[in-house]
Structures are given as C-alpha cells and as structure tokens.
Amino acid sequence: MKGDHPSLLASILLISSLLLSTFMHDARAEVITLTETTFSDKVKEKDTAWFVKFCVPWCKHCKNLGSLWEELGKTMEGEDEIEVGEVDCGTNKPLCSKVKIGSYPSFKVFYNGEEVARYRGTRDVELMRTFVLEETEKAAAAAVDSQLEDDKDL
C-alpha cells in the first residue's frame, strides 16, 4: 500500500497541472491574435466588429497596459458580434503599415472589413467597452441603411 501513495500523488499533481494550464489558456482565449495572414479574413467577417490593439513588444506604453486588453476581451465575451483582437506590429510590419499605424499602442474598430473608428480615450476597460459597443451599433446601422439604399436601386 505504501508503494501506491507516490503514484497517487503523481496522478493528482498531473491532473492539477492539466487543469491549471487549461484555466490559464482560457484566460486569454477572449483576445484573438491576428497576423498578416489572418487579419483580412477575420475583420471582413460579415456583421462582426473587431476591436484591435496594435502594439510592439518593446513599447513601454504597450507594456503599461498590463492585462487591460485581456480584461476587455473577457468583458466582451458575451457580445456575439464583437471580437477583440491584437496585432504584434514587430512581426507584422506590412499589415500595420497598411492600416496606417503610426504610434503604439493604437486601437481601431473594424466592421465588415472597414475601419470605422479609432479609440483615443482613457485606457479603461469600461470606457473602451462602451466605445466599441457604440461604434459597432453605428456601423451596423450604417450597413443596414446602405443595404436599404442598394435595395431601392433594384
């Protein structure tokens, strides 16, 4: 019976570490990393807003954000038509040039593939959440209006 104790302890430790790694992975699952190869397809998703953070690893202002972006992603989890993404401009320079990123961090909202807003306010989860909800509502309304105009032309 004494020989079974170490294997039981090892099993418990293994299960605990697997559960911990699962929870740690899920904590960041709300923020989607976008790259040059995935960015266009993702932000073009129909009727979906993307709130994207553009940063570089060496930027002190980006580092000072701490877990703010992950907290925002977690806060936005229940919003079906809003995704939170991030782009590392250090490894995706052509993409960041294409979307005209001139300073770090930069925060932009895209809707149906088009940039609709840039966030320049206080770096606060609730303020950023309110901003992206309002901008998404405006963009969705504009898309509906545009569709109605197109339908009238038929």
Q: Check if the beta carbon of residue 87 is closer than 8 Å to that of residue 34.
A: yes
The dihedral region occupied by 130, where left means phi > 0, alpha psi between -120 and 50, and beta the remainder, is: alpha
User: Which of 55, 62, 89, 96 is labelled catalytic?
Assistant: 62
The reply to whether 59 belongs to the active site is yes
From the number of C-beta atoms within 10 Å of its C-beta (0-12, 13-18, 19+), residue 96 rates as buried
Q: Which amino acid is at 100?
A: K
The reply to whether 96 belongs to the active site is no
Active site residues: 59, 62
